[in-house]
């Protein structure tokens, strides 16, 4: 699946579980984007019936179903608990007409996440998460709470389809912060992908960077990373092989870790440096040497964005 195909196709969504605010935000996005009908076609709740939402100022009904159907097509948004994500996720990945989807839940057991990753690769599905706020392609697809859930947050990102900056981030909150930051700089978002803060994301940062590199609308990439893990070294390897050629702004959080007598565990499961190579300082140094634009403070992001303009 590519960004080009997402922009050129009708994107429908089946939601697994019930999160009314998230679902309503997707409908608001669709409405402001000028779509003729909601992209959410059904909600798997365990009951057959209908749930009431709003389409603009008009009430609308979305079908609820007992179970996943082999006729399901398009995208899925899985908002079930972490321990329930595995069975439904594997079932969805075996449905031929499903492109992929997002796992919103935190605390998915690591063995479950590895199984989901293997199933996604085997079945060639674009699956994101766990612990992800989702995938945003302005004007075309809002798969999760990414970009916000209020109409005031959703309207601008639904209408501005000519953005040129891709946002790649593990943190859901920082993904939304970066969307706001880039939008204020008048560059606009080409797409935003929150791969999640768990140790074993189904779409890795490396895969997300290649999506951005191969997207003709994306002119530059903004990445927010953290201490822990070695994802950034995979990105360096891509650049060294000439597989990444677009301007890339990198921020690595967690430099305060040295103030603690022992390596601290920050908010995300992966955000802990077990060895020196995984520290924020080591990553920043390696990224600078490789030629990336690396911020020392988060507010420097604006300066780099203005240079891209």
Please tell me the number of Cα atoms within 13 Å of 58 on its side-chain side.
6
**Parallel, antiparallel or unpaired: strands 220-226 and 189-194:** unpaired
Phi, psi torsion values for 132, nearest 5 degrees: -120, 140
Q: Are 170 and 270 in contact (CB under 8 A)?
A: yes
Residues with a catalytic annotation lie at 268
Tokens of 130: 């766990």
Burial class for 278, CB neighbours closer than 10 Å (0-12, 13-18, 19+): buried
Q: Provide the 3-class DSSP secondary structure of residue 260.
A: coil
Tell me how far apart the alpha carbons of residues 29 and 43 are, in angstroms, rounded to a whole number: 17
Tell me how far apart the alpha carbons of residues 151 and 57 are, in angstroms, rounded to a whole number: 12
Cα–Cα distances (Å) from 233 to 70, 130, 228, 256, in that order, read 40, 22, 11, 21
């Amino acid at each position: 699946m590519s960004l080009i195909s997402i922009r050129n196709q009708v994107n429908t969504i089946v939601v697994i579980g019930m999160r009314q605010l998230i679902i309503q935000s997707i409908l608001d996005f669709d409405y402001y984007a000028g779509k003729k009908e909601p992209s959410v076609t059904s909600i798997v709740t365990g009951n057959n019936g209908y749930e009431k939402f709003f389409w603009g100022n008009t009430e609308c009904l979305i079908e609820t179903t007992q179970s996943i159907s082999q006729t399901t097509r398009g995208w899925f948004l899985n908002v079930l608990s972490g321990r329930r994500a595995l069975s439904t996720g594997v079932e969805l990945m075996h449905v031929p007409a499903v492109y992929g989807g997002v796992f919103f839940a935190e605390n998915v057991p690591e063995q479950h996440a590895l199984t989901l990753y293997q199933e996604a690769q085997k079945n060639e599905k674009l699956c994101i998460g766990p612990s992800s706020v989702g995938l945003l392609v302005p004007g075309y697809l809002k798969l999760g709470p990414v970009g916000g859930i209020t109409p005031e947050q959703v309207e601008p990102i639904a209408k501005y389809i000519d953005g040129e900056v891709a946002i790649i981030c593990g943190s859901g909150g920082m993904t939304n912060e970066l969307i706001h930051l880039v939008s204020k700089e008048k560059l606009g978002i080409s797409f935003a992908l929150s791969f999640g803060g768990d140790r074993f994301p189904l779409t890795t940062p490396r895969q997300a960077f290649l999506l951005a590199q191969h997207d003709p609308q994306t002119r530059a990439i903004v990445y927010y990373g953290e201490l822990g893990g070695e994802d950034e070294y995979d990105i360096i390897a891509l650049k060294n092989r000439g597989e990444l050629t677009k301007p890339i702004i990198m921020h690595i959080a967690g430099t305060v870790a040295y103030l603690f007598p022992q390596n601290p565990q920050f908010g995300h499961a992966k955000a802990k440096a077990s060895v020196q190579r995984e520290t924020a300082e080591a990553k920043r140094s390696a990224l600078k040497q490789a030629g990336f634009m690396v911020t020392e403070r988060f507010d420097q992001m604006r300066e780099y964005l203005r240079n891209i303009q």
